[in-house]
Amino acid sequence: MTLQRPRRGNGGFVLACLLPALILFAVFMVLPTINVFRMSFYAWSGFSPDPRFVGLDNFTRLLDDDNVIRAFQNTVTLLVVVTIVTMSAGLFLAAIMTRQRLRGRNLLRFVLYIPNVLSVVVIAAIFSAVYDQENGLLNGVLRVIGPDTWQQVWLGDQKIVLYSVAIAMVWQSLGYYMVLYMSSMASIPEELYEATALDGASATRQFFDLTLPLIWQNLRTTLTFFIMSAVNLSFVLVRAMTGGGPDGSSEVLLSYMYKQAYTNSSYGYGMAIGVVIFAFSFLVSLLVSRATRREPLQF
């Protein structure tokens, strides 16, 4: 009878593999986040050697700052509009290209996915050129097919500038989420669709009663992820396309925080805005998670 030595645990190897990532996460994520909370209690220009502790004064100042309220409203508007349009269009396109045998389907999927590969700054430059009042593609097309009243100052009109940015956000994100939903829909057995078709269910009924419930967990996860990423995406596009103008009509919380912390020498106040953004993002994630909770369906 041969005795076998017990296998040594591989915990040390796993820890060694995870340690570099944990260190990077702590250095570049955890510590900066803690520092944001700490500096929100100080008045500091960002250059003076001695920050001055002011307690909750920065947060009290937020309540009286009309620009913060306006930036918050713009952020919420973008999140609502872009999330609804991107998720709805992504689901629709995924269902069409999964269930329908379209010619050139792979080419169309490739074309729609390209914006996700491009840098956000490049996308901002593309849409800035498209929206150009004199030489832009959009006004050029409208000049040919319609009256002069159709032409707009897309990035200079307070009423439409936010929605112009929203279109760029949708264009950047749509292809990525479409591909994710296509992957989820492709895993649904064809027999289920055949059974519902025999029961007389239309394509629309199949989508709402079969496809949507079976991919719900994927939809729920991507919805939370998209809302968080949209907060960061809005900052980059606003910063590159409009700078928050005209007259703050496209300012979002992150861009206003950046201006306060790094342009107006109000670093502590900017960090207080950062704390509000952190709390807002966490609260939205929690609400979305609770609102979309349901029993998972299996097949």
Half-sphere exposure of 121 (CA within 13 A, CB side): 0
Q: For residues 256 and 62, give the distance between their C-alpha atoms in angstroms, rounded to a whole number.
A: 12
What pLDDT score was predicted for residue 3? Answer: 52
Q: For residues 259 and 14, give the distance between their C-alpha atoms in angstroms, rounded to a whole number.
A: 43
What's the pLDDT tens digit per position in 6-41? 555 577 888 888 899 999 999 999 999 999 999 999
Domains assigned to the chain = 73-251 (1.10.3720.10)
Alpha helices in 146-252 (DSSP H): 161-186, 190-198, 203-206, 212-214, 216-241
pLDDT band at 169 (very low <50, low <70, confident <90, very high): very high
For the chain, first and last CA: distance in Å? 47
Residue 85's Cβ-count burial label (10 Å; 0-12, 13-18, 19+) is: middle
Find out whether 237 and 120 touch, Cβ atoms under 8 Å: yes
What pLDDT score was predicted for residue 71? Answer: 95
Q: Which two tokens stand for residue 142?
A: 């409208």
Per this entry, what is the length of the chain? 299
Q: For residues 43 and 64, give the distance between their C-alpha atoms in angstroms, rounded to a whole number.
A: 17
Question: 90-126 b/e with 16+ CB inside 10 Å = b?
Answer: bbebbbebbeeeeeeeeebbeebeebbeeebeebbeb
* Averaged pLDDT, 36-62: 89
Annotate 38-93 with three-state secondary structure.
HHCCEECCCCCCCCEECCCHHHHHHHCCHHHHHHHHHHHHHHHHHHHHHHHHHHHH
Q: For residues 91 and 179, give the distance between their C-alpha atoms in angstroms, rounded to a whole number.
A: 9
What pLDDT score was predicted for residue 297? Answer: 59
74: pLDDT strictly greater than 80: yes
Other beta carbons within 10 angstroms of residue 46's beta carbon come to 14
The H or E element containing residue 292 is none
Q: Which residues, at least 6 apart from 96, have a Cβ–Cβ distance to it below 8 Å?
A: 102
What pLDDT score was predicted for residue 164? Answer: 95
Q: For residues 285 and 288, give the distance between their C-alpha atoms in angstroms, rounded to a whole number.
A: 5
What's the pLDDT tens digit per position in 223-252? 988 988 899 999 999 999 999 989 989 999
104: pLDDT strictly greater than 80: no
Task: Report which residue type is found at 36.
Answer: V
Q: For residues 106 and 296, give the distance between their C-alpha atoms in angstroms, rounded to a whole number.
A: 30
